[in-house]
Amino acid sequence: ALLPYVPRVPPTALPGKVTATTFALEMPCCVFDGHANASDAVWLVVAFANASDAFRNPPSRDDVPPYERLPTAHSYMTLETAAAAYACPAPSPAFLRVGGDTACGGQGGRDPCNGPLPSPGPYRVKFLVMGCHGPKAETRWSDPILLRRGTGDPRGPPSARAAVVVTSILASLGAALAAGVLGAVGAEAWGSLCRRQPGNGAFALRSYRTHHIPPALPQPLPPGCGCSPPGLGSFAPRRPGPCPAE
């Protein structure tokens, strides 16, 4: 049976709703009631958008295309879940995470795997009900889902680039710390040198106030005397001239 339900990414804001390797889907609650028994399983089919029309439902579980075949077959099936998990009375989370199992790839290619998506896509998905005798019902294909593009860097994987960034930051912090220590040591040494050598340099750094005492000016000779003027008595005496006659 072809069910009218169309899978979609939730329209509301959701952390990690679409990333470079995963995306979220709304839970198809109550969609398979009346079309699936308790023993049936519901699968999610993931295909590249341009390969969805060429996908053919597998006749049995043994023919389910595995996750590892996505690069060559352009489609795979994942999230095998009991149909009862999507029934109306059953409590269930609001969203399904596609591509959230980072440990995929080591099961030999046969067990269901919900591994990270290898490229931005776009992808299209649908839900398929599988019983003991093969497919029983399916939903319509979703609209194309485009993932965020990763920023590729030929210098190495993201972990290596992160290590390089962290190393660069630590090196910069170390250089700044070393410069600060050397600056503090240099300033202390310079201050110590100035305190130990109170020469011209130390004198230039100090401020003094002085009182200027002007020298005594020679007084004019008093009339009738040939003596030295006041303030010049310590100098060599000069021969006095004759006093003027009165």
Q: For 29-80, how does the pLDDT look when each residue is reduced to its tens digit (9 = 90+)? A: 999 998 988 889 999 999 999 999 999 999 999 999 999 889 999 999 999 9
Mean per-residue pLDDT, 159-165? 44
Angstrom distance (rounded) from CA 243 to CA 173? 93
pLDDT of residue 160: 43
Domain presence at residue 56 = yes
- 130 closest CA partner among 223, 180, 238, 57: 57
pTM: 0.60
* Spatial distance between the Cα atoms of 201 and 186, rounded to a whole number of angstroms: 18
Mean residue pLDDT across the chain: 74
Residue 200 within any structural domain of the chain: no
Asked whether residue 178 is domain-assigned, the answer is no
Lookup: tokens for 155: 């210098």
Residue 197 in any domain: the answer is no
Q: What is the pLDDT of residue 211?
A: 46
Q: In the prediction, which pLDDT does 200 show?
A: 46
Q: How far apart are CA 106 and CA 140, in angstroms?
A: 31
Q: Is residue 220 part of a domain?
A: no
Count of structural domains, the chain = 1
36: in domain: yes
Residue with tokens 């999230």: 79
Query: 86 lies in a domain?
Result: yes
Domain range for 40 is: 2-139
193 falls within a domain:
no
d(CA 27, CA 56): 23
